[in-house]
Chain A
């Protein structure tokens, strides 16, 4: 269903884009810079910009955009609150005040400060400046980023996933009060919980200690899975493809296994027994780097890269119908992109589960390594 919906959504956008391409041509010429936010996507460069924009976090929740006959861009969606920790303290306003501008031309004035949105990032312009000035590589030269605590699209996604989890699983939990075997949707959720417990946590952490980490592992598993799946819906979330999110998740895993390390774990990490004394400090550095940096890094990059790549591939394949139209004609290019995108979407649904599984699996593996009590030789 989701596959179909997403495909239909992009088909609609593409069809609208093709129909209105003539009206857009004149407008685009006037504006000079192509609007990447929901703008019409006709050329390879625009496709690239659109995908790049999608992969980033967004301050608006745009479902789709279209052009009126008059050539005006209309965006369908809703604005989200922008909350900034600026040099003047907390500043909050709705993202609609940027009027979907994403290249720093619309300035919002609050508390005597001017804010501009450039490529999905909000900049605070230095005092005295009237407009953002760019250098050659389009970096703003007279502005810096404040701490952006906005309820962005990703935060909405996180909250939505959290709400879904809380709703679904607390209902399941309440069911057990009245009956032994849950009914309805709980019947689907229960085996998943048992799966995480029996296939991921128990074998990797060990029968004695797994219980303590079940809360984290279950939360992370369903959090990642739900967000991966939400990313495949037409809502267009890309939460698990945000490096900040995956960094946070990996950091949690790291903190958990570092704080729960057993005596044996620290002995083996810092002063490896059975190795010449000269080598021990070297090994300690390597081991410590492995646990503090390399393992969390592999976790965060794997999830981030997989989801980002998945979104990139799916959107590129959908864009085939636009980019290949001249070479193959509209029917062939549309058909080709439909078949290929559908195929990749099916794989992406698998990947959505797989990445959640791998993240949880590796987390429990690392936790298992840290809490393991070695038998003394």
Chain B
């Protein structure tokens, strides 16, 4: 104990107190305060970033779930639409077929009607041309009457034969 006290140097003690106070002050001002503040800032920054990342992750999950739900819905809708379209098309095809049948039968009827009309017209024309022909024949016959009766008769017969051939 005595040597301990003897070793104790009051001068060094005073110097150490003075230097330590100055050092404490300087270190606090120039080192510890800025260091600890920036460390804390960084830590809160990291915490916030982590929380933000977690939030983003959750949001992403939500979004993904939403997406999946949407896709499912869209798929179902598509199915529905397809079904509907199929039934509509079936109906359409059926009606179209019926319509087509109606139309064709109408057309056929019309065509038959036209054919008949044409036939009538042709017959009328034939009749007309026969009349003209007979008039012509009569004309020639009348012209030839003056020269030869026999030949006239032969001619009439010939012409008539032609007509029947027609």
Interface residues of A (CB under 8 A from B): 56-57, 121, 147-152, 154-155, 158-159, 162, 165-166, 169-170, 172-174, 176, 180, 190, 193-194, 197, 211, 214-216, 218-219, 223, 242-245, 247-249, 251-252
Contacts and interface: CB of A to CB of B under 8 A. Distances in A.
Nearest to A218: B32
Contacts of A215: 24, 27-28, 32-33
Nearest to A241: B7
Nearest to A174: B34
A244 B19 contact: no
B58 interface: no
Given A147-B14, A162-B23, A170 B9 contact: no
Interface string B6-17: 011111111111
A165 B28 CA distance: 11
Closest 4 CB pairs of A and B: A169-B31, A148-B11, A176-B38, A173-B34
Given A57-B9, A170-B30, A172-B35, A252 B20 contact: yes
Interface of B: 4, 7-17, 19-20, 22-24, 26-28, 30-36, 38-39, 42, 45
Given A159-B19, A176-B34, A218-B32, A244 B27 contact: no
Contact of A216 (B16, B22, B24): B24
A165 B23 contact: yes
Interface of B, helix, strand, loop or mixed by DSSP: helix
B15 A155 contact: yes
Contacts, number: 114
A56 B26 CA distance: 29
A140 B24 CA distance: 38
A275 to B, nearest CB: 33
Nearest to A120: B9
Contacts of B45: 180
A332 to B, nearest CB: 35
Contacts of B35: 169, 172-173, 176, 190, 193
Nearest to B41: A176
The listed residue with most B CB atoms (<10 A of its CB), out of A56, A162, A173, A223, is: A173
Nearest to B35: A173
Contact of B27 (A159, A180, A194, A218): A218
B19 A155 contact: yes
Contacts of A121: 9
Contacts of B27: 165-166, 169, 215, 218-219
15 contacts: A147-B11, A152-B9, A162-B19, A165-B23, A165-B27, A172-B35, A173-B33, A190-B35, A215-B27, A215-B32, A218-B27, A219-B28, A244-B10, A247-B13, A248-B17
Contacts of B9: 57, 121, 148, 152, 242, 244
Contacts of A249: 16, 20
Given A215-B24, A219-B24, A249-B20, A169 B32 contact: yes
A57 B12 contact: yes
B27 to A, nearest CB: 5
A104 B19 CA distance: 30
B95 to A, nearest CB: 75
Given A162-B23, A172-B31, A249-B20, 20 more contacts: A56-B7, A148-B12, A150-B11, A152-B12, A155-B16, A159-B19, A166-B27, A169-B30, A169-B35, A173-B31, A176-B38, A180-B42, A180-B45, A215-B33, A216-B24, A243-B7, A244-B9, A245-B12, A245-B13, A252-B20
B16 A158 contact: yes
B15 A158 contact: yes
A194 B43 CA distance: 11
A216 B15 CA distance: 18
Given A173-B30, A216-B24, A242 B14 contact: no
Contacts of A176: 34-35, 38
Contacts of A57: 9, 12
B41 to A, nearest CB: 8
B28 A248 contact: no
Nearest to B14: A149
The listed residue with most A CB atoms (<10 A of its CB), out of B12, B14, B19, is: B12
Contact of A243 (B4, B11, B17): B4
B31 A165 contact: yes
A159 B14 CA distance: 14
Contacts of B8: 243-244, 247
A230 to B, nearest CB: 15
